[in-house]
Amino acid sequence: MNKKSMYMGPLFAVVVVIAIMYLAFVLHTKTSSFEKKIGEKQTELLNTYQKGEKALFYVDRAGKYSINKAIDEIDKGKIELGCGKYKDYALWKNKDNDCYPDLIFKKIIQEKLNEYLGKYIDNYKEAKIPKNNYEIYIKGKKIEAIAIKNILIEDEKNRINYSVKPSFFVNTNYNLMEKYKQYGETAEEALNFIITCLGEGSGEVNDDDLKTCTSKANVKLSDRIIATSYEDLDKEFYLFFDIVEEGKENIKFAVLLKDDIAPPKTTGIKIEKRDSKTYIGWDKNPASDTKIYEIYYKDIDFKKSDDANNLGQTSDTEIETSIKGDYYFAVIAKDEADNQIGPFTTEKLTIS
């Protein structure tokens, strides 16, 4: 026997002993399977399936409640749509942006569904349901949510995995996108009407004038504007809407009316020549928010004189007019939002 085969003998014996022991162990565990009931695994399979169905039902109901809650909150002006809030009203339009819901409805519903459904899922203990898991599809009156990841029901003991893809939908009474678009158009119509009214009227923008123009707009819009608000500090004007639809609660929102209405043309310009100087006067501008008058004169080129701020009276502004020739004068009212009319008309004065 060589040296190699000398070691092979005991090694072979050890391997055989291990193999026999393993066989004995397998036989032992196999006999214990007789202690299981026939059909027990099938029962667990059914129970796992039922767990999945219960989770599906829960997600379906909770998802519907979440979407309905989000729609209700948009309608009641409780959700901020990106343009801020004023009092209890969500702004659908501010100075810089339009935030009409039809433009961002899908995004808002998606965010709110994740938030509200997430809370429902946190409280559900019977299965592990994935969160932030839904793609939203809006087709007419139907809002559909389809899961990205499946719900996985695991029974580790019985080695059962049940995977199911939840989806749910909400049918609304009417096409929400169309409705929101209509409300947006109503708001724009009201704003344009009021701006035109203010421009054609006295040209002033104050509480009284806004109220008058709002009343006129309301006649046109079947009383859909319920109030106006004037923020003197920021020169901001808000229109509040409270639209009642049949079979639905009121829809509340507000829009911001920008003060981009210039005071009308300044009239009654009088030019008086005294010695080498010229004094200029005018009638008080009817715009109540007139802040200053800018005076321009031209000998060769137009020049801007000092601003006149004695708003109630004619100006005593002096302009040097010692050189002979034609002079042209213009007075332009500027309001507190720095709006001013242009181009201006001029008054002529000839120095001989």
Binding residues for another protein, per CB under 8 A? 1, 3, 6, 9-10, 12-14, 16-17, 20-21, 23-24, 27-28, 31, 34-35, 37, 39-40, 43, 46-47, 50, 53-54, 57-58, 61-62, 65, 68-69, 116, 119-120, 122-124, 126
Provide, rounded to whole angstroms, the least separation between the CB of residue 114 and another protein.
13
Q: Which is nearer to another protein, 79 or 225 (CB)?
A: 79
Q: How many CB atoms lie within 10 A of CB 325?
A: 11
- What tokens appear for 128 in the block? 């592990």
Residue whose CB is less far from another protein, 21 or 311: 21
Residue 121 beta carbon to another protein: minimum distance, rounded to whole angstroms: 9
Distance CA 198, CA 190 (A): 12
- Label residues 278-290 b or e (16+ Cβ within 10 Å = b): bbbbbeebebbbb
CB of 23 to another protein, least distance (A): 7
Adjacent-strand bridge partners of 105: none
**Cβ 228 to another protein shortest distance, Å:** 35
Instruction: Compute CA distances 72 → 91, 252, 255, 269, 291, whole Å.
Output: 16, 10, 19, 57, 44
Decide whether 68 or 97 has the Cβ nearer to another protein: 68
Residue with Cβ nearer another protein (33 or 222): 33
Nearer to another protein, 7 or 274 (CB): 7
Q: What are phi and psi of 190, to 5 degrees?
A: -65, -45
What backbone phi and psi angles, to 5 degrees, belong to 261?
A: -100, 115
Is the CB of 126 or the CB of 135 nearer to another protein? 126
Closer residue to another protein in complex, CB, 159/324: 159
Give the whole-angstrom CA distance, residue 102 versus residue 79. 14
Nearest-approach distance from CB 3 to another protein, in angstroms? 7
Minimum Å distance from CB 127 to another protein? Answer: 10
Of 198, 249, 257, 247, the closest CA to residue 227 belongs to 257
User: Given the complex with another protein, which of 35 and 275 has the nearer CB atom?
Assistant: 35
**Residue 118: both structure tokens together:** 């997430």
With contact defined as beta carbons under 8 Å apart, do 317 and 304 qualify?
no
End-to-end CA distance of the chain: give it in Å, rounded: 144
One-letter identity of residue 43: T
Query: Chain centroid to CA 343: how far?
Result: 37
Whole-number minimum distance, CB 6 to another protein, in Å?
5
Q: Which is nearer to another protein, 43 or 310 (CB)?
A: 43
> Toward another protein, which CB reaches closer, 116 or 253?
116
| Residue 167: CB minimum distance to another protein, A | 15
Residues in the chain: 352
Minimum Å gap between C-beta 37 and another protein is 6
Element (H, E) at 320: strand 318-320
Residue 138: φ, ψ to 5°: -115, 120
Of 311, 310, 315, residue with least CA distance to 329: 315
Contact (Cβ atoms closer than 8 angstroms) between residue 223 and residue 210: no
**Would you state the torsion angle of the CA atoms of residues 42, 47, 49, 51, taken in this order, to the nearest 10 degrees?**
-160
Instruction: Give the nearest distance from C-beta 15 to another protein in angstroms.
Output: 10
